[in-house]
């Protein structure tokens, strides 16, 4: 699928209408990033369409492959926003490394446009790694944590 100009224009409108600074999409071997450059005054969106990088050939040692597989399934951010590990600054985090979760359990919050979006685990298992820190900005599709 190629990104046609109408589709790119619609994405640019979404970028402008929602006070976003960047939108990134990937479809198979194609990727597109729209970024609004701000220099004192809002500028027009900058569009950069590039082929997605080809997956690297497996040149890892067996030990490295085992370590990567052991991380588990990635739980990714469904949106651009700010990651929060707890419902409030003084509350305990939703999950910690080593904790077991069930599918549907709330594992974090991603704030987007002043809305607090509870992110639920897509599968059951044990949290093996939390990849982002509290208050850190996250991108769409960014790995938040791994569940084994």
Per-residue tokens: 20: 């976003």
Instruction: Write down the domain spans for the chain.
Output: 5-51, 71-147
Cα–Cα distance list, 85 to 17, 34, 103 (Å): 29, 28, 17
Q: What does the pLDDT look like over 86-121, one tens digit per residue? A: 999 899 999 999 999 999 999 999 999 889 999 999
Q: Is the pLDDT of residue 64 over 70?
A: no
Which CATH number is associated with domain 71-147? 2.40.50.100
Q: What does the pLDDT look like over 67-83, one tens digit per residue? A: 444 578 999 999 999 99
Q: H or E stretch including 78? A: none
Cα–Cα distance list, 117 to 122, 127, 145 (Å): 15, 20, 16
Does the pTM exceed 0.75? no
**Bigger pLDDT: 102 or 38?**
102
- Average pLDDT, stretch 22-41? 68
Determine the Cα–Cα distance for residues 64 and 16; give it in Å rounded to an integer: 43
């Amino acid at each position: 699928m190629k990104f046609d100009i109408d589709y790119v224009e619609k994405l640019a409108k979404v970028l402008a209408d929602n006070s976003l600074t960047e939108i990134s999409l990937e479809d198979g071997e194609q990727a597109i990033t729209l970024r609004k450059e701000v220099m004192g005054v809002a500028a027009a969106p900058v569009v950069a369409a590039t082929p997605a990088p080809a997956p690297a050939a497996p040149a890892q040692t067996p030990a490295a492959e085992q370590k990567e597989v052991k991380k588990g399934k990635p739980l990714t951010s469904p949106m651009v926003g700010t990651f929060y590990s707890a419902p409030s600054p003084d509350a305990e985090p939703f999950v910690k490394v080593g904790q077991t979760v069930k599918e549907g359990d709330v594992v974090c919050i991603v704030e987007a446009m002043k809305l607090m979006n509870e992110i639920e685990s897509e599968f059951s298992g044990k949290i093996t790694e939390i990849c982002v820190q509290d208050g850190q900005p996250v991108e769409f599709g960014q790995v938040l944590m791994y569940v084994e």
